[in-house]
């Protein structure tokens, strides 16, 4: 499981980074989405990973924290998911507006000079 998860993080990040360096703005936005998945999983994997031990407590009494998944990375990632949605929305709109004003979807606002 650990190996698969690590490889998954690597593949997502790699695909995202590759797209980040591409010239078309749509590639960039897809790249950011993929990178966000990768990074979210990465942050998530920094805590204890259990199968079937969600951080939902019983009411009252003594609890053994090590029996549950780590809630802190989860809380961080939850925030990250929402924020990455917001940045995607903002970037999309900037991209659309740039496309309208510059007439091209190259990230520099003009086609590369050959």
Give one word for 37, left, alpha or beta, with left for phi > 0 and alpha for psi -120 to 50: alpha
- Decide if 8 contacts 1 (C-beta within 8 A): no
Hey, which residues between 22 and 81 contact other proteins (CB under 8 A)?
Answer: 22-24, 26-27, 29-31, 33-34, 37-38, 40-42, 44-60, 63, 65-66, 68-75, 77-79, 81
Task: Please tell me the total number of residues recorded for the chain in this structure.
Answer: 114
Q: 91: burial class by Cβ within 10 Å (0-12, 13-18, 19+)?
A: middle
- Provide the minimum distance between the beta carbon of 44 and other proteins in the complex, in angstroms, as a whole number: 7
- Provide the minimum distance between the beta carbon of 50 and other proteins in the complex, in angstroms, as a whole number: 5
- Provide the minimum distance between the beta carbon of 98 and other proteins in the complex, in angstroms, as a whole number: 10
Contact letters (x/-) for other proteins, 82-101, by CB under 8 A?
A: xx-xxxxxx-xxxxxx-xxx
């Amino acid at each position: 499981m650990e190996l698969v998860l690590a490889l998954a993080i690597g593949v997502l990040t790699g695909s995202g980074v590759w797209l980040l360096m591409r010239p078309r703005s749509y590639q960039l936005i897809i790249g950011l989405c993929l990178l966000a998945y990768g990074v979210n999983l990465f942050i998530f994997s920094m805590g204890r990973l259990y199968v079937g031990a969600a951080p939902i407590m019983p009411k009252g009494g003594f609890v053994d924290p090590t029996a549950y998944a780590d809630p802190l990375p989860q809380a961080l990632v939850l925030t990250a998911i929402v924020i990455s949605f917001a940045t995607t929305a903002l970037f999309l709109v900037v991209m659309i507006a740039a496309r309208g004003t510059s007439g091209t979807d190259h990230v520099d606002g003009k086609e590369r000079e050959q």
